[in-house]
Structure 1
Amino acid sequence: MSKYVKDLVTRDLKRRLEGVSDAVLVSCSGMDANTTNELRGELSEKNIQMMVVKNSLARRATEGSTLAPAFEGTRGQVALIWGSSDFVSLVKEAVRLDKDAEKYSKFIATGGVMDGEPLDQEGVKAISKWPSREEQISMLVGQILGPGSTLSAAMLGPGRMLNSQIKSKGEGDES
């Protein structure tokens, strides 16, 4: 590939990766075209983008960005996936596809980058066990509403007890 073509590809990669700060590297070499197309469609449904790149060109394109550590030590062709609602959801999807040996046997999550820190394969699997953004929000809402619910029950409890005693006394006098 000529230097001119490399510069064009590098510029295009920079443009496409602009604003991307966290991503997962996967290996999908050896997948047939139909399986790859099906994989891209499945990822697209979850708002995840996938781009297969030559690592040396990706290294040049991400130089000085937060994605640069992801490509250190990579060889050959790699695929970069990014997007989703948050990074943990992205990693969970990558690990789920990695485990699906029946359908995507050649898909392997090899690493990535989170907040400018490189991740190896074990780091990616560890992050997949974290709660996603939606799960964290629901836990936070539960923690916020918990004390209010307890206070409400404590305030309403004696009134309900008094009401039931008055009602039972009133029903007892009628007979």
Structure 2
Amino acid sequence: MKKEVKDTIIVDLGQKLKEYPHFYLVDVTGLNAEATSKLRRDCFKQEIKMVVVKNTLLREAMEASDVDFAPLYGSLKNNTAVLFAHTANVPAKLLKDYAKEGIPALKAAYAEEEFYVGADKLDELVSIKSKNEVIADIVSLLQSPAKNVISSLQSGANTIHGVLKTLGERAE
């Protein structure tokens, strides 16, 4: 590979590292062409950008980045694919679906400005809540007390109304 091509790839990877806040390093050793195509399709459906890279070029792109990715350098062995995503837990959920087959295996991840090294971190990554999930939780927490108050007032109104009606109909 010519130096110009390598430099272009390094710059492109550097831009992806800046553009996407979360990425996963995945070992794709043992995937045949059919399995790789299926993985790419599944990634595309979930808005994950999958790039198969040379480890040395990815390392150079990481070294040129503003973020210190040193904890991930040890994971750059064998065949590596990088799954870039805007939502931290989406690639983890995809890899969890593939976990039955064992391929591809998680090597490491950079999600929510934290480093996760090792395949055993997959469950931890799956449990990370996305921004939309956190917002939904907050909204439901905020709505819960209001719903309880309204419910209590409505049931109390029915009770008070029933008591007043009974008292009004009572013979004096």
Unaligned runs of 5+ in 2: none
What percentage of aligned pairs have identical amino acids?
22
The aligned length equals 168
Unaligned runs of 5+ in 1: none
Give the superposition deviation at 1:127: 2.2
Greater CA drift, 152-161 or 131-140: 131-140
Q: Secondary structure of the equivalent of 1:92?
A: helix
Structure 2 CA distance, aligned partners of 1:116 and 1:31?
29
Give the superposition deviation at 1:81: 0.3
Residues 102-125 of structure 1 show CA distances to partners (whole Å, capped at 9, x for unaligned) of: xxx421111111244321123333
Give 2:133's match in structure 1, choosing from 129, 132, 135. Answer: 135
Structure 2 CA distance, aligned partners of 1:8 and 1:141?
45
TM-score by structure 1 length?
Answer: 0.80
User: Any conservation in 1 of the 2:72–2:108 contact (CA below 8 Å)?
Assistant: no
What's the RMSD between the two structures over aligned residues? 2.6
TM-score by structure 2 length?
Answer: 0.81
Q: Secondary structure of the equivalent of 1:87?
A: coil
Residues 49-85 of structure 1 show CA distances to partners (whole Å, capped at 9, x for unaligned) of: 110101110011122333734641122331110225x
- Give the letter aligned to residue 142 of structure 2: I
Counterpart residue number, 1:149: 147
User: Any conservation in 1 of the 2:28–2:104 contact (CA below 8 Å)?
Assistant: yes
Q: Residues 67 and 125 of structure 1: is their aligned pair in 2 closer, same or farther, counting only changes over 3 Å?
A: farther
Q: Residues 114 and 132 of structure 1: is their aligned pair in 2 closer, same or farther, counting only changes over 3 Å?
A: closer
